[in-house]
Structure 1
Amino acid sequence: MSDWVILATALAGFDHAATAHKVLTTRDYLARPELFRGARPNIINLSRSYSYQSRGYYASLLAAARGQRVIPSVETIIDLSARKLYENAIPELEDALNKGLAAQAGETPSRLRVFFGTSADPRLERFCRLLFDWFRAPALEVTLKPGSWCAIPRIALLPFAKLDSDDRDLFYKAMARHTARQWKDAKARAPARYSFATLVDPDEALPPSTIDSLKHWSRIAARMGVAVEPITRKDLPRLANFDALFIRETTSISNHTYRFARRAQQEGMPVIDDPVSMIRCTNKVYLDELMASNGIPVPPTVMLIGPEDFSRAADQLGFPMVLKIPDSSFSRGVSKVGSMQELKTLASAWLADSEVLIAQAYMPTSFDWRIGVLGGKPLFAVQYLMAKKHWQIVKHDTGGKPLEGGFKPFTLAQVPPLVLDTGLRAARSVGDGFYGVDLKETDDGVFVIEVNDNPNLEHGVEDAAEKDEVWTRLTNWFIERIDG
């Protein structure tokens, strides 16, 4: 059966010669679920209306319930039902629109029709791709307000029935290009039940997993019927061609990694890291409050909003103390201060960029525990040793490549029970995904330093004790959620 199924309210208005894929009425799709039982086609919903409780709405809703990919998804239909639901996308879209218009002279239309991320205006190629990244829909109509800065008052789903003959010619060509994008060539993907995308940045200095480690995972996954394919930030338009997403770049809610996570979630794909985990884990203020509310021990902590909090931090924590920017990662944006003057100098500088900082009691140890947790269960355990002549596991201010300490792997059975239990409780309070919980084991007890949503998983390091069981369980986590 074809990978693609086209839904149209009335087949008489659709040119069957324009596609090699199966065309079906929306009514038949809704009323005859047995047509695709046991199959997972990609659905293009071209219904006459997408309004709430219309046949078009229910087609997208039931496609999701049947485990089939559909464009537009119900989430996209809802997002585009009111400007307040999509206005967060407008600044980025207007920027791309105006850059495209400024690059080449020409008249600015009052409306723009975009089909599968393309339009008749070559100036707006990048804008149209970005629009499709935000809102995956067969046809969109963008209302434009020309001026020195062209504004976007409205974005709306455009039903196929409202296209004129010229628009339909463009639409059919765009649909043919879109549906021709295969997941892999037939020979490469024949043995694989599933295809996983792995988001990587080949130029990242300290990636959570190197390409070599991901190749190791790929070999293990292949034996389980899974094809693993690396993708980059340019591949967002084809993300829906995969069954799952594993993000192996340093995550941030302010860059493309968050958009990839959100898009995967919208497509109903299992994703590591999911958007909620990214939001929670990338902010140390939130984590500190979350741990405290769940009774999980953390170092004594003081929140710094302004200079008036410096003395309170000194009184409660003493010196030295550790100062942190809330969204720091990989030991960056984390510093030890040894006096009130150092605290004032560094905190004042950081508060110019971040309205909130946190200060924590300094807990000197020769190593940090890292407990890897997947789906609420322990995955691996390792001790990261402090970098030479440094108080952290990574030393960044070396004038060159960051200096890392060594590591010591442990089987899960070798981990002290209190360390393992505390790590599991911390991860479970965040979510059901993949987390790396950093802990300090001291004479006063075990304390959670942070929960990472994007933990390292390096072949020969994190998997050194539990071996390939780590990668096997990771693969099964995705498969179990795909199979539902």
Structure 2
Amino acid sequence: MKSILILCREETSDVVELAAALNNRGHSAIYAKPCEVTVDMDKLGIRFILNDRVLDLTCVLGWVSLSQREYGLWLLRAFEIGGIPVINGSEVLGSGQNKFLNSVLLTKHQIPHIPTRLIGSCEQLEETADALGFPLVLKPVIGAKGEQVVRVDDINSLRKLAPDYLRDHKALYVQACLDKPGRDIRVRVVGYRAEFAFFRYAKNGGFLTNLSSGGTWETCPLTARLIELAEQCSRVFQAPVAGVDLLEVGDDDYAVIEVNTTPAITWPHMETVRHVADLIEQRVHLSFGAKVQDGSSS
């Protein structure tokens, strides 16, 4: 039986709930980490193998990041080359999970964004501080769930912390720290349509608002401007599934912090799971219809 594969970093509630929703609709949905997939290449072709079974796939959802990211991106690209439809494919995750490329895309398309700079050495710290002003926010170029995101308030703190980010010839991603009303906003986009938004509040008046870091939430009204910006971001990133993070600036306007291309789809709004399942079904049916038209379906 043909299967839908969720290629993920780990077995999370998002993965389990989405697989269950697809299976309840009569599909064969499976999930795996990239390290669990073997790829055979010989004169018979390319075969993707999981648990000693050759996979026959109708669609793949790309949900890899961090420790599973590199091999995961290779696999997603291999699926694409093999003609298997991939939602949030290798290029989408490659740019969406790289905060530097994230900022490049936002700036290129003139989407309101936080002033940002990428530097390659400690010699550029003073110039960066002068250009952006304190406080600053330091982030790893590749990261998730607020890990290693730090606010610095003075040049001595910046000099102390920067070498850790620059170690092994890596770069330092720096953003200005805009005033915010103790919260930011996450907008979930599915099929290039904004479907839910919520405020995220930092724990005990802290800095990080990520729910995984103990932040709290409440529903945020989807204003026309929020919808416009979130949907524009998903189109620019070519990400059918996205989480767009924004800060409120002024009256009913926003600055985009970043676009998350592997966002949570369960709590605090389980309806997102249904919308993602709908999207996958549409892609499967579209692909099957195209194969019938060109005569390649058996």
Global fold match (TM > 0.5): yes
Asked if the contact 1:244/1:264 (under 8 Å) is kept, the reply is no
Measure, in 1, the Cα distance between the counterparts of 2:234 and 2:28: 28
Q: State the one-letter code of the partner of 2:37.
A: D
* Matched residue, 1:226: 27
Deviation at 1:351, TM superposition (A): 0.9
Match of 1:453 among 256, 261, 265: 261
Q: Give CA-to-partner distance per residue, 1:191-237, whole Å, 9 cap, x none.
A: xxx521123455x6xx47252x2354235xx33x4221223432342
* Matched residue, 2:209: 393
Change (3 A) 1:422 1:381: same
Asked if the contact 1:302/1:360 (under 8 Å) is kept, the reply is yes
Q: Give CA-to-partner distance per residue, 1:293-349, whole Å, 9 cap, x none.
A: 111011112222222321222222222111122112221132111110011111122
Q: State the one-letter code of the partner of 1:483.
A: G
- Bigger strand fraction: 2
Match of 1:323 among 138, 146, 151: 138
Match of 2:37 among 235, 239, 253: 235
* Matched residue, 1:471: 277
* 5+ long unaligned stretches in structure 2: 39-47, 291-298
Asked if the contact 1:370/1:437 (under 8 Å) is kept, the reply is yes
Deviation at 1:266, TM superposition (A): 1.8
Measure, in 1, the Cα distance between the counterparts of 2:204 and 2:274: 30
* Matched residue, 1:419: 226
**Quick check: 270-279 or 441-450, which moved more?**
441-450
* Matched residue, 2:243: 436
* 5+ long unaligned stretches in structure 1: 1-182, 184-193, 396-401
* Matched residue, 2:45: none
Measure, in 2, the Cα distance between the counterparts of 1:314 and 1:432: 33
Change (3 A) 1:267 1:380: farther
Identity value in percent: 22
Change (3 A) 1:250 1:355: closer
Change (3 A) 1:408 1:250: farther
* Matched residue, 1:209: 14
Asked if the contact 1:198/1:229 (under 8 Å) is kept, the reply is yes
Q: How does 1:199-348 map to 2 (within 5 A)?
A: 199-200=7-8, 202=10, 207=12, 209-211=14-16, 213-219=17-23, 222-223=24-25, 225-232=26-33, 233-236=35-38, 237-238=48-49, 240-250=55-65, 255-348=70-163
Q: How does 1:347-426 map to 2 (within 5 A)?
A: 347-363=162-178, 364-394=180-210, 403-409=213-219, 414-426=221-233
**Quick check: 438-447 or 249-258, which moved more?**
249-258
CA RMSD of the aligned region, Å? 2.7
Measure, in 2, the Cα distance between the counterparts of 1:455 and 1:208: 12
Asked if the contact 2:203/2:214 (under 8 Å) is kept, the reply is yes
Deviation at 1:408, TM superposition (A): 2.4
Q: State the one-letter code of the partner of 2:21.
A: W
Measure, in 1, the Cα distance between the counterparts of 2:84 and 2:14: 21
Q: Secondary structure at the match of 1:388?
A: helix
TM value normalised by structure 2: 0.80
Q: Secondary structure at the match of 1:319?
A: coil
Asked if the contact 1:291/1:298 (under 8 Å) is kept, the reply is yes
Change (3 A) 1:404 1:419: same
Asked if the contact 2:88/2:239 (under 8 Å) is kept, the reply is no
Q: Secondary structure at the match of 1:352?
A: helix
TM value normalised by structure 1: 0.51
Measure, in 1, the Cα distance between the counterparts of 2:13 and 2:230: 19
Q: Secondary structure at the match of 2:14?
A: coil
Asked if the contact 1:317/1:361 (under 8 Å) is kept, the reply is yes
Q: Choose 1 or 2 for highest CA Rg.
A: 1
Measure, in 2, the Cα distance between the counterparts of 1:354 and 1:432: 30
Measure, in 2, the Cα distance between the counterparts of 1:343 and 1:446: 27
* Matched residue, 2:296: none
Change (3 A) 1:388 1:304: same
Asked if the contact 2:76/2:86 (under 8 Å) is kept, the reply is yes
* Matched residue, 2:41: none
Q: Secondary structure at the match of 1:226?
A: coil
Change (3 A) 1:426 1:469: closer
